Structures are given as structure tokens and as C-alpha cells.
Amino acid sequence: MNPILYVIRPGDTLFNLANKFGVTVQDIINSNLALDPYNLRVGQQIYIYPRLTSNYWWSIRQVDLLKRMNLAWEQHIMWTRMLLISIADNLKDLDATEKRLLQNPKDIADIFRKYYGNAFANRIENLLTEHLTIGKNLIVALKNNNQKLAKELTDNWYKNADDMAEAFSSINPFYSKEKVRDMLYDHLELTTDEVTARLRKDYSADIEAFDNVQQEVLKMSQYFVEGIFKQFSNLF
């Protein structure tokens, strides 16, 4: 069964969550090594792994990989959002924000490097860097109402997604090219919704769009992790 990324709400306790999801308090603690069970914080994210049977469990290696993959992809969308805000509002942190964002492709690529080697990891790093660079230029074009350039950049953005889908499907039989492509297309579409809402200063729609981006990217992250589990089951 797929793990659940749960956000702590007011009134939540580990005992109540354990009853709700059919696990034990110790299961939740074991799956969240940095969790202080006596100090739950509203808004804090934890992982809960509902049991298939009484002896169903995830190894620490599986939990660790999922955490690292989720963190890298969440940083991907978070720093993209920071860049969007900097461009939209002409903030002085633009250069520093872009520099930090462009560290993310290597962070993601390094997770795959252990399993697929340097050549593939470097390919993914380059494709993700291209993805972010096109995205930045697209934000600027949309802000300047340069529709011709925006159309050209959008076409390039989707071509880049095609290239990523091809790359991922070439190294893991559990990565469907069509599935990866569809997830990447969803990522681009939802990110575009976020960008356009922010640029028109519709902040409620902007926030809702970012929530949608986050939910989608975590599904993509989980898909990549599950593919690694299946292909390298002997390592977990």
C-alpha cells in the first residue's frame, strides 16, 4: 500500500492517528525518525504506512529514499515558486534565488546516481537545468506579455519533458515513458496555472495552484521511488 504524507492538524495525537490508519504508535515513530512524539506541530508533515497485513512493513532504506526524493522535489517546486515571486514583484533576491534553484537539478540527479551511474545522472541534471531555465524565461515572457516568445518557450518546455520521459524510461523497466511524460506534462500545466495566477495578482488562485503542484509532484516522486524499489529490490 502506498505511504501517506499526512499534515498534522490541531488536536492530532499519535494515538488517534494510529487508530485512524490501522497502525501502531510505534509504527509511526519508526517511519519518522526525527519525530518528537511529545511535540507534534500543526503543519508538520509525517509519513504513515498503512499495513496490508499484520506483518507488512517498510525498511528504513525505503523510508529514507522516499524522504530524500520527496524533499528534493518539494525543494524543486518551492524554489521555483520563490523565483516566480521574485520576478513578479521585482524583488532584489532574484539572482540569489535563481542560484539556489539551480542547485536542485544536481540534488535530484544525485539520488538516481547511486543506482544508474554518472552518465544517466548527469543527463537528468542537464535536462532539469534546461527545464528550470526555460521556466524562468517563460515567466519573464508572460510578465512582459510577449505571447510569441511564451509560445516558443512553452513548446520547448514540453519537448524537454518528452526528453526526460525518454531518459527515465530507458533505464528502468518500471518507468513507463507514457506515464512519466503524462506526469511531467501535468507538472508543467499546473505550474503554468500557478504562474499566470501570480502574475495577475490573484493570490487565492495562486496559492491553490501551488497546493495542486505540490500534490502532483509528490505523486511523481513516489512513482520514481517505487520504480527503484522494484528494480533494485535486493538493496531494500
Note the pLDDT tens digit of each residue in 4-20. 888 899 888 998 888 88
Neighbours of 17 (CB within 10 A): 20
Mean pLDDT of 145-152: 97
The topology (CATH level 3) of 4-48 is Membrane-bound Lytic Murein Transglycosylase D; Chain A (3.10.350)
| Residue found under cell 519525530 | 35
What is the 3-state secondary structure of 221-233?
A: HHHHHHHHHHHCH
Count the neighbouring beta carbons within 10 Å of the beta carbon of residue 167: 18
Q: Sort 124 into a burial class: Cβ within 10 Å, 0-12 / 13-18 / 19+.
A: buried
What pLDDT digit, counting tens, does each position of 32-86 carry? 888 888 889 998 999 888 764 444 456 778 888 999 999 999 999 999 999 999 9
Q: Which of 72, 100, 7 is nearest to 220 (CA)?
A: 72
Q: Please give the Cα distance from 14 to 44 (Å, whole number).
A: 13
pLDDT tens for each residue of 105-115: 999 999 999 99
Contact 61, 53 (CB under 8 A): no
